[in-house]
Amino acid sequence: MKTDSKPVYLKLRDTIAAAILDGAFAEGQMLPSVRAFAAQQGANPLTVAKAYQLFQDSGLVEVKRGVGLFVAHGAQGKLRVTERAYFMAHIWPDVRSQMQRAGITPAELLEQA
């Protein structure tokens, strides 16, 4: 079993990405301030700022000086492509192996959905 040893700023990035993908932060919507998100997550504001910077660097958020950070238009689609590629390369191979060991077929999974 793999343990998750990701740095906190990457875990926060994943939390924000999931919120964008799930629609909790819609495109064009303002993200919580660094301090507010840090308080909500129980994290250091500098760590949150580092996570936010990753989104800025990748063009997923836009900065409006004096106002805040906003989810960029197209961010959800970009994130979905990235998430899908990560899943197929890093998650799916382990899931497929576990399914094969347990004798689970894709059809069985679809029946459970």
Per residue in 8-36, pLDDT (tens digit) is: 999 999 999 999 999 999 999 999 999 99
pTM of the model: 0.82
Helix or strand holding residue 69 (H, E): strand 68-71
Domain-located, residue 32: yes
Interatomic CA distance for residues 103 and 26, integer angstroms:
40
Domain-located, residue 47: yes
Do the beta carbons of residue 56 and residue 96 sit within 8 Å?
A: no
Domain-located, residue 1: no
Domain-located, residue 81: yes
Number of domains in the chain: 1
User: Of residues 3 and 77, which shows the higher confidence score?
Assistant: 77
Strand, coil or helix: 30: strand
Domain-located, residue 3: no
Domain range spanning residue 37? Answer: 8-112
Helix or strand holding residue 64 (H, E): strand 61-64
Token duo for residue 8: 């906190």
Residue 80: which CATH number?
A: 1.10.10.10
